[in-house]
Structure 1
Amino acid sequence: MAQIRTITRSGTRFYFDPDKPDLKVPGVTSIISMLPKPFLAFWNAKMVAELAVDSLPFVQQMAERDRAGAVDYLKGAARRYTKARADLGSDAHDLFERLIRGEHVGRVHPDLEPYRKHFHEFLEAVNPELVRAEDIAWSDQHGYAGSFDAILNVWLDENGKPTPDRSGERHTVITDWKTSKATYPDVALQMSAYAHADRIIGPDGTSEPMPDFDGACVLHITDETWEFKPVRIDSADVFATFLRLREVFTWDREVSKTVLGRAIAKAAGQLVTGTQRRAK
Protein backbone atom coordinates (compact mmCIF):
# COMPACT_ATOMS: atom_id res chain seq x y z
CA MET A 1 0.00 0.00 0.00
CA ALA A 2 1.18 3.53 -0.79
CA GLN A 3 1.62 6.04 2.01
CA ILE A 4 -0.73 8.99 2.12
CA ARG A 5 0.79 12.25 0.90
CA THR A 6 -0.17 15.88 1.24
CA ILE A 7 0.49 19.16 -0.55
CA THR A 8 -0.16 22.76 0.44
CA ARG A 9 -1.50 25.22 -2.13
CA SER A 10 -2.30 28.84 -1.27
CA GLY A 11 -2.41 28.00 2.41
CA THR A 12 -4.68 24.99 1.94
CA ARG A 13 -3.55 21.47 2.73
CA PHE A 14 -4.80 18.68 0.48
CA TYR A 15 -4.62 14.95 1.15
CA PHE A 16 -4.23 12.34 -1.60
CA ASP A 17 -6.00 9.00 -1.41
CA PRO A 18 -3.26 6.31 -1.35
CA ASP A 19 -5.45 4.00 -3.47
CA LYS A 20 -6.47 6.72 -5.96
CA PRO A 21 -3.45 9.00 -6.54
CA ASP A 22 -5.47 11.48 -8.60
CA LEU A 23 -8.04 12.01 -5.84
CA LYS A 24 -7.29 14.80 -3.39
CA VAL A 25 -9.48 16.34 -0.69
CA PRO A 26 -9.02 19.43 1.50
CA GLY A 27 -7.89 19.21 5.11
CA VAL A 28 -10.24 19.69 8.03
CA THR A 29 -8.44 22.76 9.38
CA SER A 30 -8.50 24.41 5.95
CA ILE A 31 -12.26 23.91 5.80
CA ILE A 32 -12.73 25.34 9.29
CA SER A 33 -10.72 28.40 8.23
CA MET A 34 -13.81 29.40 6.24
CA LEU A 35 -15.32 30.59 9.54
CA PRO A 36 -15.41 34.40 9.74
CA LYS A 37 -12.87 35.69 12.29
CA PRO A 38 -13.25 39.47 12.46
CA PHE A 39 -11.30 39.60 15.73
CA LEU A 40 -8.12 38.69 13.84
CA ALA A 41 -7.94 42.14 12.24
CA PHE A 42 -8.02 43.79 15.68
CA TRP A 43 -5.48 41.30 17.06
CA ASN A 44 -3.12 41.83 14.14
CA ALA A 45 -3.33 45.62 14.52
CA LYS A 46 -2.70 45.29 18.27
CA MET A 47 0.42 43.16 17.67
CA VAL A 48 1.81 45.74 15.23
CA ALA A 49 1.01 48.65 17.57
CA GLU A 50 2.60 46.97 20.59
CA LEU A 51 5.74 46.13 18.63
CA ALA A 52 6.03 49.71 17.38
CA VAL A 53 5.62 51.19 20.85
CA ASP A 54 7.91 48.68 22.57
CA SER A 55 10.71 49.14 20.03
CA LEU A 56 10.16 52.73 18.95
CA PRO A 57 13.83 53.89 18.85
CA PHE A 58 14.85 50.77 16.91
CA VAL A 59 12.00 51.15 14.42
CA GLN A 60 12.79 54.85 13.96
CA GLN A 61 16.44 54.11 13.19
CA MET A 62 15.43 51.34 10.78
CA ALA A 63 12.93 53.61 9.03
CA GLU A 64 15.57 56.28 8.48
CA ARG A 65 17.75 53.74 6.66
CA ASP A 66 15.13 51.53 5.06
CA ARG A 67 11.48 52.61 5.26
CA ALA A 68 10.19 49.57 3.38
CA GLY A 69 12.16 47.26 5.67
CA ALA A 70 10.71 48.95 8.75
CA VAL A 71 7.19 48.53 7.37
CA ASP A 72 7.83 44.84 6.67
CA TYR A 73 9.25 44.38 10.19
CA LEU A 74 6.16 45.85 11.81
CA LYS A 75 3.54 44.19 9.63
CA GLY A 76 5.19 40.80 10.24
CA ALA A 77 4.65 40.97 14.02
CA ALA A 78 1.61 38.70 14.08
CA ARG A 79 3.11 36.28 11.56
CA ARG A 80 6.30 35.85 13.58
CA TYR A 81 4.35 35.33 16.80
CA THR A 82 2.07 32.79 15.15
CA LYS A 83 5.02 30.87 13.71
CA ALA A 84 6.79 30.76 17.07
CA ARG A 85 3.64 29.42 18.74
CA ALA A 86 3.12 26.90 15.93
CA ASP A 87 6.70 25.65 16.26
CA LEU A 88 6.27 25.20 20.01
CA GLY A 89 2.93 23.46 19.43
CA SER A 90 4.50 21.05 16.92
CA ASP A 91 7.30 20.18 19.34
CA ALA A 92 4.77 19.69 22.15
CA HIS A 93 2.59 17.42 19.97
CA ASP A 94 5.62 15.31 19.14
CA LEU A 95 6.38 15.06 22.87
CA PHE A 96 2.77 14.13 23.71
CA GLU A 97 2.72 11.36 21.11
CA ARG A 98 5.90 9.86 22.51
CA LEU A 99 4.54 9.99 26.06
CA ILE A 100 1.10 8.57 25.21
CA ARG A 101 2.82 5.69 23.42
CA GLY A 102 4.77 4.92 26.57
CA GLU A 103 8.16 6.01 25.28
CA HIS A 104 10.67 7.12 27.89
CA VAL A 105 11.48 10.78 27.35
CA GLY A 106 14.52 12.17 29.13
CA ARG A 107 15.53 15.81 29.26
CA VAL A 108 13.65 18.20 27.02
CA HIS A 109 14.15 21.83 26.08
CA PRO A 110 13.32 24.15 29.02
CA ASP A 111 10.43 25.63 27.01
CA LEU A 112 8.89 22.14 26.76
CA GLU A 113 9.46 21.04 30.34
CA PRO A 114 6.17 22.48 31.69
CA TYR A 115 4.28 20.67 28.91
CA ARG A 116 6.02 17.38 29.70
CA LYS A 117 5.20 17.80 33.40
CA HIS A 118 1.55 18.59 32.75
CA PHE A 119 1.10 15.72 30.31
CA HIS A 120 2.47 13.33 32.93
CA GLU A 121 -0.06 14.73 35.39
CA PHE A 122 -2.82 14.10 32.86
CA LEU A 123 -1.68 10.50 32.38
CA GLU A 124 -1.72 9.91 36.14
CA ALA A 125 -5.07 11.63 36.72
CA VAL A 126 -6.95 10.00 33.82
CA ASN A 127 -4.90 6.88 32.99
CA PRO A 128 -6.16 6.63 29.40
CA GLU A 129 -5.58 3.70 27.06
CA LEU A 130 -4.25 4.61 23.64
CA VAL A 131 -6.19 3.16 20.69
CA ARG A 132 -4.71 5.15 17.77
CA ALA A 133 -2.51 8.24 17.44
CA GLU A 134 -1.62 10.62 14.61
CA ASP A 135 -3.50 8.78 11.87
CA ILE A 136 -5.64 10.21 9.06
CA ALA A 137 -9.42 10.49 9.25
CA TRP A 138 -10.86 10.29 5.72
CA SER A 139 -14.39 11.03 4.57
CA ASP A 140 -15.31 9.43 1.26
CA GLN A 141 -18.87 10.70 1.51
CA HIS A 142 -18.11 14.38 2.08
CA GLY A 143 -14.61 14.72 0.65
CA TYR A 144 -12.25 15.81 3.42
CA ALA A 145 -9.40 14.43 5.52
CA GLY A 146 -7.33 15.38 8.54
CA SER A 147 -4.78 14.10 11.00
CA PHE A 148 -6.21 13.52 14.47
CA ASP A 149 -4.11 13.48 17.63
CA ALA A 150 -5.47 10.40 19.40
CA ILE A 151 -8.28 7.96 19.99
CA LEU A 152 -8.39 7.04 23.67
CA ASN A 153 -10.30 4.78 25.99
CA VAL A 154 -11.04 6.54 29.28
CA TRP A 155 -12.93 5.25 32.29
CA LEU A 156 -15.51 7.56 33.88
CA ASP A 157 -17.74 7.38 36.94
CA GLU A 158 -21.46 8.15 36.95
CA ASN A 159 -20.68 11.88 37.22
CA GLY A 160 -18.41 11.82 34.18
CA LYS A 161 -15.21 12.09 36.21
CA PRO A 162 -12.15 9.96 35.36
CA THR A 163 -11.44 6.89 37.44
CA PRO A 164 -7.68 6.31 37.05
CA ASP A 165 -8.01 2.80 38.50
CA ARG A 166 -10.33 2.08 35.52
CA SER A 167 -13.20 1.09 37.77
CA GLY A 168 -15.72 3.27 35.92
CA GLU A 169 -17.42 2.77 32.58
CA ARG A 170 -15.16 2.70 29.53
CA HIS A 171 -15.66 5.43 26.91
CA THR A 172 -13.97 5.66 23.52
CA VAL A 173 -13.25 9.30 22.69
CA ILE A 174 -11.63 11.14 19.81
CA THR A 175 -9.08 13.44 21.45
CA ASP A 176 -7.16 16.55 20.52
CA TRP A 177 -4.18 18.21 22.21
CA LYS A 178 -4.23 22.02 22.31
CA THR A 179 -1.37 24.27 23.41
CA SER A 180 -2.97 27.61 22.54
CA LYS A 181 -3.79 30.24 25.15
CA ALA A 182 -7.37 29.00 25.36
CA THR A 183 -9.69 26.41 23.87
CA TYR A 184 -12.10 27.77 21.27
CA PRO A 185 -15.50 26.52 20.09
CA ASP A 186 -14.28 25.57 16.61
CA VAL A 187 -12.47 22.59 18.17
CA ALA A 188 -15.92 20.96 18.22
CA LEU A 189 -16.12 21.30 14.43
CA GLN A 190 -12.67 19.74 14.08
CA MET A 191 -13.41 16.82 16.40
CA SER A 192 -16.83 16.24 14.85
CA ALA A 193 -15.28 16.06 11.38
CA TYR A 194 -12.82 13.40 12.51
CA ALA A 195 -15.44 11.39 14.38
CA HIS A 196 -17.86 11.37 11.43
CA ALA A 197 -15.25 10.37 8.85
CA ASP A 198 -15.68 7.03 7.10
CA ARG A 199 -12.29 5.48 7.72
CA ILE A 200 -8.86 5.72 9.28
CA ILE A 201 -5.77 5.59 7.08
CA GLY A 202 -2.60 4.42 8.82
CA PRO A 203 1.01 5.40 8.08
CA ASP A 204 1.36 2.49 5.63
CA GLY A 205 -1.72 3.56 3.66
CA THR A 206 -4.01 0.79 4.89
CA SER A 207 -7.57 1.70 5.81
CA GLU A 208 -10.04 0.51 8.39
CA PRO A 209 -13.51 1.77 9.34
CA MET A 210 -13.73 4.66 11.77
CA PRO A 211 -14.88 3.29 15.13
CA ASP A 212 -17.99 4.44 16.96
CA PHE A 213 -17.30 7.08 19.58
CA ASP A 214 -18.90 7.79 22.92
CA GLY A 215 -17.78 11.39 22.67
CA ALA A 216 -14.82 13.68 22.23
CA CYS A 217 -12.38 15.45 24.53
CA VAL A 218 -9.73 18.12 24.27
CA LEU A 219 -6.64 18.19 26.46
CA HIS A 220 -5.64 21.83 26.86
CA ILE A 221 -2.06 22.21 28.06
CA THR A 222 -0.18 25.45 28.60
CA ASP A 223 3.08 26.20 30.36
CA GLU A 224 1.03 27.01 33.48
CA THR A 225 -1.73 24.41 33.74
CA TRP A 226 -3.78 21.71 32.00
CA GLU A 227 -7.40 20.57 31.78
CA PHE A 228 -9.29 17.77 30.07
CA LYS A 229 -12.67 18.84 28.66
CA PRO A 230 -15.54 17.04 26.92
CA VAL A 231 -16.48 18.37 23.47
CA ARG A 232 -19.83 18.10 21.68
CA ILE A 233 -19.63 16.40 18.29
CA ASP A 234 -23.31 15.61 17.55
CA SER A 235 -24.28 15.33 13.91
CA ALA A 236 -27.53 17.30 13.99
CA ASP A 237 -25.89 20.52 15.13
CA VAL A 238 -22.10 20.56 15.21
CA PHE A 239 -21.26 18.28 12.28
CA ALA A 240 -23.98 19.90 10.18
CA THR A 241 -22.19 23.23 10.62
CA PHE A 242 -18.90 21.68 9.50
CA LEU A 243 -20.60 20.37 6.36
CA ARG A 244 -21.89 23.84 5.56
CA LEU A 245 -18.32 25.11 5.83
CA ARG A 246 -17.31 22.32 3.45
CA GLU A 247 -19.76 23.81 0.94
CA VAL A 248 -18.38 27.29 1.56
CA PHE A 249 -14.88 25.93 0.92
CA THR A 250 -16.00 24.60 -2.48
CA TRP A 251 -17.55 27.97 -3.28
CA ASP A 252 -14.43 29.88 -2.23
CA ARG A 253 -11.84 27.69 -3.96
CA GLU A 254 -13.76 26.46 -7.01
CA VAL A 255 -17.22 27.82 -7.84
CA SER A 256 -16.42 31.50 -7.18
CA LYS A 257 -13.77 31.37 -9.91
CA THR A 258 -16.34 30.38 -12.53
CA VAL A 259 -19.23 32.76 -11.95
CA LEU A 260 -17.96 35.91 -13.68
CA GLY A 261 -17.72 35.88 -17.45
CA ARG A 262 -15.83 38.16 -19.80
CA ALA A 263 -17.30 41.57 -20.45
CA ILE A 264 -19.73 41.63 -23.37
CA ALA A 265 -19.73 45.45 -23.42
CA LYS A 266 -17.42 48.04 -21.88
CA ALA A 267 -16.28 51.67 -22.09
CA ALA A 268 -14.71 52.59 -25.39
CA GLY A 269 -11.85 54.38 -23.70
CA GLN A 270 -10.83 58.00 -23.50
CA LEU A 271 -10.94 59.96 -26.78
CA VAL A 272 -7.51 60.85 -28.14
CA THR A 273 -7.71 64.01 -30.32
CA GLY A 274 -5.68 64.67 -33.43
CA THR A 275 -3.76 67.42 -31.61
CA GLN A 276 -2.74 64.93 -28.94
CA ARG A 277 -1.61 62.38 -31.56
CA ARG A 278 0.51 64.97 -33.43
CA ALA A 279 2.12 66.10 -30.19
CA LYS A 280 3.59 62.63 -29.59
Structure 2
Amino acid sequence: MTSVVGMLPKPFLVHWAARMAAETAVSSLAAVASIAERDPDGAVDYVRNSHLRYTKIRAKVGSDAHDMFERMIRLEEIDRVHPDLEPYRKGFAEFLTVVRPELVRAEDIAWSDTHEYAGSFDAILRVWLGEDGKPTPDHSGTPHLLIVDWKTSKSTYPDVALQLSAYANADRIIAADGTSEPMPEFDGAAVLHITGEDWAFKPVRIDSEVFGVFLTLRRVFEWDRVISKTVIGRAIAQSARRLVTGTQRRA
Protein backbone atom coordinates (compact mmCIF):
# COMPACT_ATOMS: atom_id res chain seq x y z
CA MET A 1 0.00 0.00 0.00
CA THR A 2 2.86 2.38 0.79
CA SER A 3 4.31 1.67 -2.65
CA VAL A 4 0.98 2.52 -4.29
CA VAL A 5 0.69 5.86 -2.47
CA GLY A 6 4.35 6.41 -3.40
CA MET A 7 3.23 6.71 -7.04
CA LEU A 8 2.12 10.28 -6.26
CA PRO A 9 4.47 12.83 -7.84
CA LYS A 10 6.52 14.67 -5.22
CA PRO A 11 8.53 17.35 -7.05
CA PHE A 12 9.06 19.26 -3.79
CA LEU A 13 11.35 16.46 -2.58
CA VAL A 14 13.94 17.44 -5.19
CA HIS A 15 14.13 20.98 -3.81
CA TRP A 16 14.12 19.70 -0.22
CA ALA A 17 17.02 17.31 -0.90
CA ALA A 18 18.96 20.08 -2.67
CA ARG A 19 18.44 22.41 0.30
CA MET A 20 19.56 19.73 2.75
CA ALA A 21 22.74 19.24 0.72
CA ALA A 22 23.39 22.99 0.58
CA GLU A 23 22.81 23.40 4.32
CA THR A 24 25.20 20.53 5.06
CA ALA A 25 27.87 22.04 2.81
CA VAL A 26 27.59 25.44 4.51
CA SER A 27 27.24 24.27 8.13
CA SER A 28 30.01 21.66 7.80
CA LEU A 29 32.29 23.58 5.47
CA ALA A 30 35.51 22.76 7.33
CA ALA A 31 34.65 19.07 7.62
CA VAL A 32 33.67 18.82 3.96
CA ALA A 33 36.90 20.56 2.91
CA SER A 34 38.93 18.18 5.08
CA ILE A 35 37.25 15.15 3.54
CA ALA A 36 37.68 16.56 0.04
CA GLU A 37 41.45 16.87 0.49
CA ARG A 38 41.72 13.12 1.03
CA ASP A 39 38.68 11.83 -0.85
CA PRO A 40 36.88 14.22 -3.24
CA ASP A 41 34.27 11.61 -4.18
CA GLY A 42 33.64 10.91 -0.50
CA ALA A 43 33.05 14.61 0.15
CA VAL A 44 30.56 14.75 -2.72
CA ASP A 45 28.74 11.70 -1.35
CA TYR A 46 28.70 13.17 2.18
CA VAL A 47 26.96 16.32 0.95
CA ARG A 48 24.77 14.56 -1.62
CA ASN A 49 23.41 12.03 0.89
CA SER A 50 22.47 14.58 3.58
CA HIS A 51 18.75 13.99 3.03
CA LEU A 52 19.18 10.22 3.30
CA ARG A 53 20.90 10.50 6.68
CA TYR A 54 18.15 12.81 7.94
CA THR A 55 15.42 10.48 6.64
CA LYS A 56 17.07 7.48 8.30
CA ILE A 57 17.19 9.24 11.67
CA ARG A 58 13.57 10.40 11.40
CA ALA A 59 12.44 6.92 10.35
CA LYS A 60 14.09 5.44 13.45
CA VAL A 61 12.35 7.97 15.72
CA GLY A 62 9.03 7.32 13.98
CA SER A 63 9.37 3.55 14.26
CA ASP A 64 10.28 3.71 17.95
CA ALA A 65 7.42 6.12 18.61
CA HIS A 66 4.90 3.86 16.85
CA ASP A 67 6.08 0.93 18.95
CA MET A 68 5.65 3.02 22.11
CA PHE A 69 2.19 4.25 21.04
CA GLU A 70 0.99 0.68 20.55
CA ARG A 71 2.27 -0.34 23.97
CA MET A 72 0.61 2.67 25.60
CA ILE A 73 -2.77 2.23 23.95
CA ARG A 74 -2.68 -1.44 24.97
CA LEU A 75 -2.26 -0.09 28.53
CA GLU A 76 1.26 -1.43 28.95
CA GLU A 77 3.17 0.40 31.67
CA ILE A 78 5.84 2.66 30.20
CA ASP A 79 8.47 3.62 32.77
CA ARG A 80 11.38 5.37 31.11
CA VAL A 81 12.07 6.11 27.47
CA HIS A 82 14.94 7.65 25.54
CA PRO A 83 15.00 11.47 25.89
CA ASP A 84 14.30 11.78 22.16
CA LEU A 85 11.02 9.89 22.66
CA GLU A 86 9.89 11.58 25.87
CA PRO A 87 8.02 14.46 24.13
CA TYR A 88 6.14 11.89 22.04
CA ARG A 89 5.29 9.85 25.14
CA LYS A 90 3.91 12.92 26.88
CA GLY A 91 1.90 13.92 23.82
CA PHE A 92 0.38 10.47 23.39
CA ALA A 93 -0.42 10.22 27.10
CA GLU A 94 -2.22 13.56 26.89
CA PHE A 95 -4.14 12.36 23.82
CA LEU A 96 -5.29 9.27 25.73
CA THR A 97 -6.48 11.46 28.61
CA VAL A 98 -8.22 14.10 26.49
CA VAL A 99 -9.90 11.73 23.99
CA ARG A 100 -10.10 8.48 25.98
CA PRO A 101 -10.38 6.22 22.91
CA GLU A 102 -11.20 2.54 23.13
CA LEU A 103 -8.80 0.28 21.24
CA VAL A 104 -10.50 -2.16 18.86
CA ARG A 105 -7.55 -3.36 16.78
CA ALA A 106 -3.91 -2.34 16.36
CA GLU A 107 -1.13 -3.15 13.91
CA ASP A 108 -3.05 -5.74 11.88
CA ILE A 109 -3.10 -6.16 8.10
CA ALA A 110 -5.75 -4.62 5.86
CA TRP A 111 -6.09 -6.96 2.86
CA SER A 112 -7.94 -6.25 -0.38
CA ASP A 113 -8.78 -9.28 -2.49
CA THR A 114 -10.78 -7.09 -4.84
CA HIS A 115 -8.03 -4.60 -5.71
CA GLU A 116 -4.96 -6.65 -4.73
CA TYR A 117 -3.22 -4.52 -2.11
CA ALA A 118 -2.33 -4.87 1.55
CA GLY A 119 -0.91 -2.75 4.35
CA SER A 120 -0.51 -2.61 8.11
CA PHE A 121 -2.73 -0.05 9.83
CA ASP A 122 -1.92 1.65 13.14
CA ALA A 123 -5.25 1.38 14.95
CA ILE A 124 -8.99 1.02 14.86
CA LEU A 125 -10.44 3.10 17.67
CA ARG A 126 -13.85 3.78 19.09
CA VAL A 127 -14.10 7.46 19.96
CA TRP A 128 -17.06 9.21 21.58
CA LEU A 129 -17.92 12.55 19.97
CA GLY A 130 -20.34 15.28 20.97
CA GLU A 131 -22.70 17.19 18.69
CA ASP A 132 -19.90 19.65 17.99
CA GLY A 133 -17.74 16.81 16.65
CA LYS A 134 -15.28 17.03 19.53
CA PRO A 135 -14.32 14.13 21.82
CA THR A 136 -16.23 13.56 25.03
CA PRO A 137 -13.75 11.80 27.32
CA ASP A 138 -16.55 10.82 29.70
CA HIS A 139 -18.09 8.81 26.80
CA SER A 140 -21.28 10.84 26.98
CA GLY A 141 -21.27 11.48 23.23
CA THR A 142 -22.00 9.18 20.31
CA PRO A 143 -19.51 6.34 19.67
CA HIS A 144 -17.71 6.45 16.31
CA LEU A 145 -15.60 3.66 14.85
CA LEU A 146 -12.51 5.25 13.27
CA ILE A 147 -9.56 3.98 11.27
CA VAL A 148 -6.60 5.94 12.68
CA ASP A 149 -3.00 6.60 11.73
CA TRP A 150 -0.21 7.98 13.94
CA LYS A 151 2.12 10.49 12.27
CA THR A 152 5.36 11.91 13.70
CA SER A 153 6.40 13.79 10.56
CA LYS A 154 6.98 17.54 10.43
CA SER A 155 3.49 18.17 9.11
CA THR A 156 0.27 16.33 8.25
CA TYR A 157 0.24 15.60 4.52
CA PRO A 158 -2.86 14.99 2.36
CA ASP A 159 -1.72 11.55 1.21
CA VAL A 160 -2.68 10.18 4.64
CA ALA A 161 -6.25 10.28 3.30
CA LEU A 162 -5.29 7.91 0.48
CA GLN A 163 -3.67 5.58 2.98
CA LEU A 164 -6.62 5.56 5.38
CA SER A 165 -9.20 5.20 2.59
CA ALA A 166 -7.33 2.15 1.33
CA TYR A 167 -7.40 0.57 4.78
CA ALA A 168 -11.08 1.33 5.24
CA ASN A 169 -12.02 -0.09 1.83
CA ALA A 170 -10.02 -3.30 2.15
CA ASP A 171 -12.00 -6.54 2.25
CA ARG A 172 -10.66 -8.05 5.44
CA ILE A 173 -8.34 -7.82 8.42
CA ILE A 174 -5.61 -10.40 8.93
CA ALA A 175 -4.37 -10.72 12.50
CA ALA A 176 -0.87 -11.71 13.64
CA ASP A 177 -2.01 -15.31 14.18
CA GLY A 178 -3.21 -15.55 10.57
CA THR A 179 -6.93 -15.42 11.31
CA SER A 180 -9.08 -13.26 9.08
CA GLU A 181 -12.33 -11.34 9.48
CA PRO A 182 -14.24 -8.83 7.32
CA MET A 183 -13.21 -5.20 7.50
CA PRO A 184 -15.84 -3.35 9.55
CA GLU A 185 -17.86 -0.37 8.38
CA PHE A 186 -16.25 2.84 9.64
CA ASP A 187 -17.88 6.06 10.75
CA GLY A 188 -14.80 7.97 9.67
CA ALA A 189 -11.05 8.28 9.89
CA ALA A 190 -8.54 10.41 11.77
CA VAL A 191 -4.84 11.10 12.03
CA LEU A 192 -3.04 11.73 15.30
CA HIS A 193 -0.14 14.05 14.47
CA ILE A 194 2.47 14.19 17.21
CA THR A 195 5.66 16.25 17.08
CA GLY A 196 8.23 17.01 19.74
CA GLU A 197 6.22 20.13 20.68
CA ASP A 198 2.50 19.35 20.36
CA TRP A 199 -0.17 17.00 19.08
CA ALA A 200 -3.43 17.25 17.13
CA PHE A 201 -6.20 14.74 16.39
CA LYS A 202 -7.68 15.55 12.97
CA PRO A 203 -10.54 14.02 10.96
CA VAL A 204 -9.61 12.69 7.50
CA ARG A 205 -11.81 12.15 4.45
CA ILE A 206 -12.01 8.55 3.22
CA ASP A 207 -14.98 8.87 0.85
CA SER A 208 -15.37 7.36 -2.63
CA GLU A 209 -13.64 10.32 -4.30
CA VAL A 210 -10.51 9.86 -2.19
CA PHE A 211 -10.53 6.08 -2.61
CA GLY A 212 -10.94 6.57 -6.36
CA VAL A 213 -7.65 8.47 -6.43
CA PHE A 214 -5.98 5.60 -4.56
CA LEU A 215 -7.31 3.12 -7.15
CA THR A 216 -5.91 5.32 -9.93
CA LEU A 217 -2.51 5.15 -8.23
CA ARG A 218 -2.97 1.38 -7.97
CA ARG A 219 -3.23 1.26 -11.76
CA VAL A 220 -0.16 3.51 -12.10
CA PHE A 221 1.68 1.10 -9.77
CA GLU A 222 0.66 -1.83 -11.99
CA TRP A 223 1.88 0.08 -15.03
CA ASP A 224 5.22 0.84 -13.39
CA ARG A 225 5.88 -2.66 -12.04
CA VAL A 226 4.24 -4.90 -14.67
CA ILE A 227 2.62 -3.44 -17.78
CA SER A 228 5.45 -1.06 -18.75
CA LYS A 229 7.81 -4.03 -19.07
CA THR A 230 5.61 -5.63 -21.74
CA VAL A 231 4.82 -2.79 -24.13
CA ILE A 232 7.99 -2.60 -26.26
CA GLY A 233 8.90 -5.59 -28.38
CA ARG A 234 12.12 -6.65 -30.06
CA ALA A 235 13.28 -4.64 -33.06
CA ILE A 236 11.88 -5.91 -36.37
CA ALA A 237 14.38 -3.75 -38.28
CA GLN A 238 17.54 -1.94 -37.22
CA SER A 239 20.83 -0.49 -38.41
CA ALA A 240 23.44 -2.89 -39.75
CA ARG A 241 25.86 -4.21 -37.15
CA ARG A 242 29.44 -2.97 -37.39
CA LEU A 243 31.65 -5.59 -39.00
CA VAL A 244 33.89 -7.45 -36.57
CA THR A 245 36.98 -8.65 -38.45
CA GLY A 246 38.71 -11.95 -37.90
CA THR A 247 41.74 -10.11 -36.47
CA GLN A 248 39.49 -8.45 -33.87
CA ARG A 249 37.91 -11.76 -32.91
CA ARG A 250 41.28 -13.45 -32.46
CA ALA A 251 42.51 -10.52 -30.36
Q: State the Cα distance separating 1:268 from its structure 2 match.
A: 2.1
Q: State the Cα distance separating 1:271 from its structure 2 match.
A: 7.5
Q: State the Cα distance separating 1:116 from its structure 2 match.
A: 0.4
**Could you say which residue in structure 2 is the equivalent of 1:241?**
213
Q: Work out the percentage of aligned pairs sharing the same amino acid.
A: 70
- In structure 2, what is the Cα distance between the partners aligned to 1:261 and 1:223? 53
Question: Is 1:259 the equivalent of 2:231?
Answer: yes
Matched residues, number: 248
Counterparts of residues 126-145 of structure 1 (less than 5 Å): 126-145=99-118
**Could you say which residue in structure 2 is the equivalent of 1:229?**
202
- In structure 2, what is the Cα distance between the partners aligned to 1:125 and 1:225? 13
> How high is the TM-score relative to the length of structure 2?
0.96
Q: Secondary structure in 2 aligned to 1:166?
A: coil
- In structure 1, what is the Cα distance between the partners aligned to 2:230 and 2:199? 47
In structure 1, runs of 5+ residues without a counterpart are: 1-27
CA-to-aligned-CA distance 1:95-129 (integer Å, 9 cap, x gap) = 00000000110010000000000101000100000
Question: Is 1:175 the equivalent of 2:148?
Answer: yes
Residue from 69, 74, 85 that aligns with 1:112: 85
- In structure 2, what is the Cα distance between the partners aligned to 1:148 and 1:272? 60
Q: State the Cα distance separating 1:269 from its structure 2 match.
A: 4.8
- In structure 2, what is the Cα distance between the partners aligned to 1:264 and 1:50? 51
**Could you say which residue in structure 2 is the equivalent of 1:92?**
65
> How high is the TM-score relative to the length of structure 1?
0.86
Q: CA RMSD in A?
A: 1.6
Q: Secondary structure in 1 aligned to 2:36?
A: helix
- In structure 1, what is the Cα distance between the partners aligned to 2:30 and 2:85? 33
In structure 2, runs of 5+ residues without a counterpart are: none
Q: Which structure carries more strand by proportion? A: 1
Question: Is 1:32 the equivalent of 2:1?
Answer: no
Q: 1:119 to 1:267 in 2, by over 3 A?
A: same
Counterpart amino acid of 1:89? G
